[in-house]
């Protein structure tokens, strides 16, 4: 180190950067007394801390005003406790209820909720409603929360169709479809080519509400869409219209592939998946582990109107569902199951459920019957993973009959195999009508959860 630089140390004219670089390599190597370096550094560090000027801030543009009222205080306090972990499994019900009541959550809880929504798609629709204008504002600042902008927030005014976010436009179309199905379809047709593939697929599914033959020409045209998801959505709707061209084409295929064989049935899968089949929504590539032709067969059956089969096979649905098929039996049954769900056919769902109690079929049955059938299953089976999964498919609130059967099963199981009752108790806590808390005294954990929900819903009322 030079003499001139050493002179600088004493005079206090050294820059902070030079102090740091000297300290890094060692004051000895630059012939600087360490003590004087420390003293200069002490002066400078205090001066820098004390003299730090404010920088330039870039405040975000202010959020829009809220249109919904704030949730009541007691409900907000409970939500805060739930976000902190108390009865966290009930959060979805809290959100659904608040969304239905058209109230919004306190601003400070929105970030925590949006983090949850980033991981759990199932609550996003509710968040779109309860997070209010502040939630949408935050979603615009954090890309991890941008999903919120695709959720409908509220019933929007008319210009939303031209200018709104995708969520607002979906909400608008949904409402219009309910009020005037033809107007909704015509609005969609006018700007169809300008929509993104993601929007096109969602818009098609919105037409499920009030679906009729008047929609058939439009949906048939959509089968020529470039994007598979869009074609698929249109094909799923067209199978619900037995007189649609797609239904007739599928019927013609199905006629060849599934036939009567004495007292049973015989199935023969399609030899190939041609362009016409693909256009009708049949996917050529099977999911992993599935035989390719069986996959095609399943999809053809799934997209054939169920009303075709009794006449074609000369049997009522309950006999068809129980009939022996031999080869490809599994694929054909899966096809019918899928068809019963897509076409929301309770008769077929009932018949197929008799043959094999698949949870997905319960959803097609009227609530009373669904509860009834699930109750029968519960009464006759030990608690196992399959039962819990079946019950998991029955939405809340469970009917009286099912709730009583499950409560009985829980009490029995707690006595004999307590280790097996936990998951069922938790599920019952979520699905029973909360007023049941008064009758669940034998199972304290269940009673506590139901009581929690009872209070929770009262606060949100």
Partner 1 sequence: MSERVATVRRVEERWGGAATRNTGDAEAGRGRAGAEGGDRAAARRTQAEQRESRVGAGLSELERWLADQIGQGIAQARQTGPADWDDLARRLVDAQAPGVAGAVTRLSRVLGAEDWPGLLLGEYALLHLLAVAYRRAAALPEPLRQTVRARVGFSVTRESVLATPAVPDHWDVVGCRDEEQDRLVARRVWLAGRTTGRLAMVLSFAPAGQPLESFPPPGTTIDADLAFYPGASPLRALVAERRGLVDAGPPPGTKVSQVPALIAEVLAADPWTDSWPLVLDGAVPCPDGLADDEGNALPLHPSAGVPWRLLAVSGGRPVTVAAEWTPRGLLPLTAWNEDGGVVRL
The CA distance from 275 to 273, in Å, is 7
51 near partner 1, judged by CB under 8 A: yes
Cβ contact 358:367 at 8 Å: no
Residue from the set 50, 194, 272, 288 that interacts with partner 1 by CB under 8 A: 50
- Looking at beta carbons only, is 53 or 226 nearer to partner 1? 53
Residue from the set 37, 339, 341, 427 that interacts with partner 1 by CB under 8 A: 37
Residue from the set 24, 84, 272, 461 that interacts with partner 1 by CB under 8 A: 24
72 near partner 1, judged by CB under 8 A: no
Torsion of CA 319, 323, 328, 334, to 10 degrees: 40
Q: Radius of gyration (Cα) for the chain, nearest Å?
A: 32
DSSP per-residue letters across 352-391: HHHHS--HHHHTTS-HHHHHHHHHHHHHHS---HHHHHHH
69 near partner 1, judged by CB under 8 A: no
- Looking at beta carbons only, is 25 or 461 nearer to partner 1? 25
The CA distance from 148 to 118, in Å, is 9
- Give 290-327 as a 3 state SS string: CCHHHHHHHHHHHCCCCCHHHHHHCCCHHHHHHCCCCC
- Looking at beta carbons only, is 137 or 172 nearer to partner 1? 137
- Looking at beta carbons only, is 22 or 304 nearer to partner 1? 22
Cβ contact 127:135 at 8 Å: yes
**In the Cβ-directed half-sphere of 273, how many Cα atoms lie within 13 Å?**
18
The CA distance from 158 to 358, in Å, is 43
31 near partner 1, judged by CB under 8 A: no
- Looking at beta carbons only, is 26 or 395 nearer to partner 1? 26
**Site stretch for partner 1 (CB under 8 A), options 56-64, 267-275, 374-382, 421-429:** 56-64
Other Cβ atoms closer than 10 A to 47: 11
Minimum gap (Å) between residue 59 Cβ and partner 1: 4
Beta bridge partners of 104: 70
Work out whether strand 264-267 and strand 258-261 pair parallel, antiparallel, or are unpaired: antiparallel
**Burial classification of residue 123, based on how many CB atoms lie within 10 Å of its CB (0-12 exposed, 13-18 middle, 19 or more buried):** buried
- Looking at beta carbons only, is 139 or 301 nearer to partner 1? 139
Beta bridge partners of 70: 104
287 near partner 1, judged by CB under 8 A: no
Residue from the set 10, 28, 180, 354 that interacts with partner 1 by CB under 8 A: 28
| Count of residues of this chain found to bind partner 1 when the rule CB under 8 A is applied | 46
10 near partner 1, judged by CB under 8 A: no
Binding mask 129-148 for partner 1 (x = CB under 8 A): -----x--xx--xx------
**Site stretch for partner 1 (CB under 8 A), options 102-110, 147-155, 232-240, 351-359:** 102-110
Residue from the set 5, 6, 8, 23 that interacts with partner 1 by CB under 8 A: 23
Minimum gap (Å) between residue 35 Cβ and partner 1: 6
Beta bridge partners of 266: 259
- Looking at beta carbons only, is 148 or 349 nearer to partner 1? 148
84 near partner 1, judged by CB under 8 A: no
The CA distance from 261 to 259, in Å, is 6
77 near partner 1, judged by CB under 8 A: no
Minimum gap (Å) between residue 433 Cβ and partner 1: 34
119 near partner 1, judged by CB under 8 A: no
Cβ contact 120:96 at 8 Å: no
- Looking at beta carbons only, is 24 or 288 nearer to partner 1? 24
Of 444, 446, 450, 402, which is closest to residue 423 (Cα–Cα)? 446
Residue ranges binding partner 1 (CB under 8 A):
16, 19-20, 23-29, 34-35, 37-39, 41-42, 44-46, 49-63, 106-108, 110-112, 134, 137-138, 141-142
């Amino acid at each position: 180190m030079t003499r001139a630089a050493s002179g600088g140390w004493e005079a206090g004219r050294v820059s902070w950067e030079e102090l740091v670089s000297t300290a890094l390599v060692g004051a000895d190597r630059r012939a600087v007394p360490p003590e004087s370096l420390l003293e200069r550094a002490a002066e400078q560090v205090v001066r820098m801390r004390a003299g730090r000027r404010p920088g330039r801030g870039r405040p975000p543009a202010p959020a829009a005003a809220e249109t919904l009222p704030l949730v009541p205080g007691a409900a907000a306090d409970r939500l805060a406790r739930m976000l902190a972990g108390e009865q966290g499994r009930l959060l979805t019900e809290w959100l659904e209820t608040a969304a239905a009541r058209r109230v919004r959550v306190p601003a400070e809880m929105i970030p925590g909720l949006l983090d949850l929504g980033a991981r759990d798609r199932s609550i996003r629709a509710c968040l779109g409603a309860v997070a209010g204008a502040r939630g949408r504002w935050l979603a615009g600042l954090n890309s991890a929360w941008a999903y919120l902008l695709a959720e409908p927030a509220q019933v929007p005014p008319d210009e939303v169709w031209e200018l709104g976010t995708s969520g607002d436009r979906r909400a608008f179309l949904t409402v219009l479809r309910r009020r005037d199905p033809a107007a909704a379809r015509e609005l969609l047709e006018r700007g169809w080519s300008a929509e993104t593939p993601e929007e096109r697929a969602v818009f098609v599914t919105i037409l499920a509400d009030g679906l009729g033959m008047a929609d058939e020409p439009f949906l048939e045209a959509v089968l020529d869409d470039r994007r598979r998801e869009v074609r698929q959505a249109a094909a799923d709707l067209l199978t619900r219209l037995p007189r649609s061209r797609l239904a007739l084409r599928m019927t013609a295929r199905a006629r060849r592939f599934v036939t009567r064989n004495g007292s049973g049935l015989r199935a023969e899968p399609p030899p190939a998946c041609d362009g016409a089949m693909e256009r009708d929504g049949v996917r050529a590539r099977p999911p992993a582990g599935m035989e390719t032709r069986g996959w095609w067969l399943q999809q053809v059956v799934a997209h054939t109107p169920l009303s075709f089969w009794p006449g074609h096979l000369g049997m009522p649905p309950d006999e068809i569902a129980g009939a022996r098929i031999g080869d490809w039996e599994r694929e054909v049954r899966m096809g019918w199951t899928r068809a019963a769900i897509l076409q929301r056919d309770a008769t077929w769902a009932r018949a197929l459920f008799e043959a094999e109690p698949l949870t997905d079929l319960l959803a097609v049955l009227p609530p009373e019957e669904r509860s009834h059938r699930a109750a029968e299953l519960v009464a006759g089976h030990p608690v196992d993973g399959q039962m819990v999964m079946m019950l998991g498919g029955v939405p809340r609130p469970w009917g009286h009959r099912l709730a009583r059967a499950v409560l009985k099963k829980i009490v029995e199981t707690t006595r004999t195999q307590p280790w097996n009752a936990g998951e069922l108790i938790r599920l019952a806590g979520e699905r029973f009508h909360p007023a049941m808390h008064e009758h669940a005294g034998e199972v304290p954990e269940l009673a506590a959860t139901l009581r929690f929900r009872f209070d929770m819903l009262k606060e949100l009322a």
